[in-house]
Amino acid sequence: MRRRRWARAAVVTVAGVLGYLVLGAVPAAAHVEVAEARPNGDGTATLTFSFDHSCDDSPTTELVVALPDGVTASAVAAPEGWSGAVAGDRVTFTGPGLETASVGVTARIVARAGDTLIFPVLQRCADGGSYDWIDITADSDHPAPRLIATNAVLAAQPGTTTAPPLAGGAERTQGDGATLGQASVVVVAFVAAAAVGGFVAVRRQ
């Protein structure tokens, strides 16, 4: 009898741990990412941003992508029924609610091979819920989509003249090649612009 009880307890414990691990892994895996970067052979590359989830039970109705310095969009590709528009360093996609989808941005990229380019994204849903994928660290809860620049997708590389040192002796780059200060400025400006434009997450009645 004791052996049976012990066996049952072990099964329940293992099942609980497995359930925790499986369910706990879902939110961490849910995000918006750069799924593909395809060179077009004309100095541009098409970046595909994809999402595989929405806000609980409410589908996604809008994505706003912020372009970092050195990236200039020239065309968009939206899912059927959606529209896309470029306004400066913002690309906005809107349409009927979708649970999963991919959108495309054709852009000219000027960077150095190995640089990490950060693309903050605002994801909005039909019920007013939202996700702000703006964190510049890859292992955070809401990481911004990122792309490691390669020669294949670059239109050009910036000049190699030595830049003046940063104030206070701050480091200019992270270990992964991303310009931390630049990424931070992009994120701050993006969030500020979203607030002014009414994109900040609010629960609409």
Residues 6+ apart with CB under 8 A from 84: 76, 77, 78, 91, 92, 93, 103
**Tokens standing for residue 173:** 């780059």
Amino acid at 93: F
Give the C-alpha separation, 174 to 180, whole Å.
6
Q: How far is CA 27 from the centre of its chain?
A: 15
Q: What is the mean pLDDT of each run of 10 residues along the chain (205 residues)?
A: 46 37 37 95 97 90 97 97 97 97 98 97 96 93 96 87 38 39 47 45 36
The CA angle 56-85-147, to the nearest 5 degrees, is 70
Query: Are the beta carbons of 103 and 160 closer than 8 angstroms?
Result: no
Is the torsion defined by CA of 125, 101, 133, 106 positive or negative? negative
Give the C-alpha separation, 48 to 58, whole Å.
23
Look at residue 19 in the predicted model and tell me its pLDDT: 37
Look at residue 54 in the predicted model and tell me its pLDDT: 85
Question: For residue 123, what are the CA distances in angstroms to 25, 53, 54?
Answer: 20, 10, 8
Give pTM, 2 decimals: 0.68
Look at residue 190 in the predicted model and tell me its pLDDT: 55
